[in-house]
Structure 1
């Protein structure tokens, strides 16, 4: 049986962070070993120290915890492999599912058109650079995000761009987004064409589908929304998930105003939050029962 890794409670490093305590309790009930990662040390670049309490030589491990930047995940994978407890999801597969440039080429027919450029935290791209990115999307509204997240909570100032051809407004919104993300800016800047979706309040009413080895495992509302639309046929999404090749994936789907289902985001399932009204047993049991093989790596 694989080991389950999670994040330690910053206030008591001998126990699981309360946000994930139910998942580790479910894993223990099934007889699994638990390892705790010091997430703060990991983000500080101390991967070996972050994994200091993980049991050694216990074989393959799933991670279920807070989001990890791709570079830090690779460092953690190396530290865990050195102590005989390798991660089941390799760094290339994690990055492919976690960051938009990794999954977008596979899901392009099913998701809003997007263009991106690497960018370091705090650096605002030149207006000409942003205009070139936007020009590839054509005129009309858009949104800005990084490789992983947007700032939907600051929709009017740091997310939504009324007209991508308005270079002054484009630069203003991107600059506000970069300031909003601060040191947490992930990977770079992404511009996406805006599509109108049915809403739960002011947010698109998103449905999250969890996939394990290409098969739907769990379907529920996105953790940030209170309702979900009826679930569509998943054949076309399933084909893309299989093409991506990552073992444990989430897809967030929303119904566009014209009745077409679209993929809003793809994510690595290890760092995707469960709905609060769903017990973790189903996901935990599926992970611990899955075949013990490494991910084949994302298709390119």
Structure 2
């Protein structure tokens, strides 16, 4: 087992909108764990950042802080670049560059690197409120295998409105395709990220004894932690050393993560009905959520240690305060 070496780590958390000196409640337990591990939590104003005022967002970050991680709510790629620029003017910088953040955060940035490991996809750039015309959607659908598909933007889907704004039963039905995409664009509103994505539908199994969708956390190209997906009702995760199917997919996924070249990445793996684990999403680890019952201390070690072995910790039984 690799020896872990503790280092100091400074992490920017979103502040509580009602208590500017506290971390947002969703991340408060993690911030406490970071401090207990010898790290330094600092606060930024996420609302100010989204409003376009990056200078106000970082007002509580001391000058000369140096390299920092961000852990908080999602930030559009342009806002993340503005955050990095504002920090640099204060003698600080994000450990994940704006270019690396966009590459991991948005599907067009990572898709080609993971081709073969993830459902076939295509996309059309579009701004908030802009629904691609039926002809453009049909041309996009022609690049996917025949059958069903799911709709999302460059970052998020609306899977909780599955039949209304996510699932297209048959790509050969242009009216249904346009209807689902239009509703998706409507519901996303101003938060539509990048454009419209179509992904070939693949059947996945439902969780039983262990989560059928897991989140693998990669730092510097190595898998450091496996947790249940945040939406999973099942906390236990398969052990990669005992699950042959999961063990088989980790080497090619690792090769893709290394090729992507981003320092802190998550890959969401779902178990397809034929027993093959598939990459269903890639993300920047800084804005990837942690399952409410995951071990906060094990996660914080990713940020505070130079090296750490792959771990599949048992649930801690605690929920972020």
Instruction: Mark yes or no: TM-score above 0.5.
Output: yes
Q: Higher mean Cα deviation, 151-160 or 222-231?
A: 222-231
In the aligned structure 1, how far is the partner of 2:187 from the partner of 2:257?
31
Moved segments of 4+, more than 2 Å: 30-34, 227-231, 288-291
List runs of 5+ in structure 1 lacking aligned partners: 292-300
Check if 1:115 corresponds to 2:122. yes
Instruction: Give the structure-2-normalised TM-score.
Output: 0.87
Corresponding residue to 1:247 among 243, 249, 263: 263
Deviation at residue 251 of structure 1 after TM alignment: 0.5
In the aligned structure 1, how far is the partner of 2:146 from the partner of 2:32?
51
RMSD, matched Cα: 1.5
Q: Is the 8 A contact 1:2 1:59 kept in 2?
A: no
Q: Is the 8 A contact 1:138 1:165 kept in 2?
A: no
SS in 2 for 1:66: coil
In the aligned structure 2, how far is the partner of 1:162 from the partner of 1:289?
46
Per the alignment, residue 299 of structure 2 pairs with 283
Q: Is the 8 A contact 1:145 1:177 kept in 2?
A: yes
Check if 1:58 corresponds to 2:74. no
Per the alignment, residue 287 of structure 2 pairs with 271
- Residues 27-66 of structure 1: per-residue CA shift (max 9 Å, x gap): 2223322221101111111111111111220110011111
In the aligned structure 2, how far is the partner of 1:220 from the partner of 1:285?
14
Per the alignment, residue 48 of structure 2 pairs with 41
Deviation at residue 229 of structure 1 after TM alignment: 6.1
List runs of 5+ in structure 2 lacking aligned partners: 1-7, 241-245, 308-321
Instruction: Give the structure-1-normalised TM-score.
Output: 0.93
Corresponding residue to 1:170 among 161, 167, 177: 177
Check if 1:222 corresponds to 2:229. yes
Per the alignment, residue 297 of structure 1 pairs with none
Corresponding residue to 1:15 among 2, 22, 41: 22
Q: Is the 8 A contact 2:215 2:227 kept in 1?
A: yes
Q: Count the aligned residue pairs.
A: 289
Check if 1:150 corresponds to 2:150. no
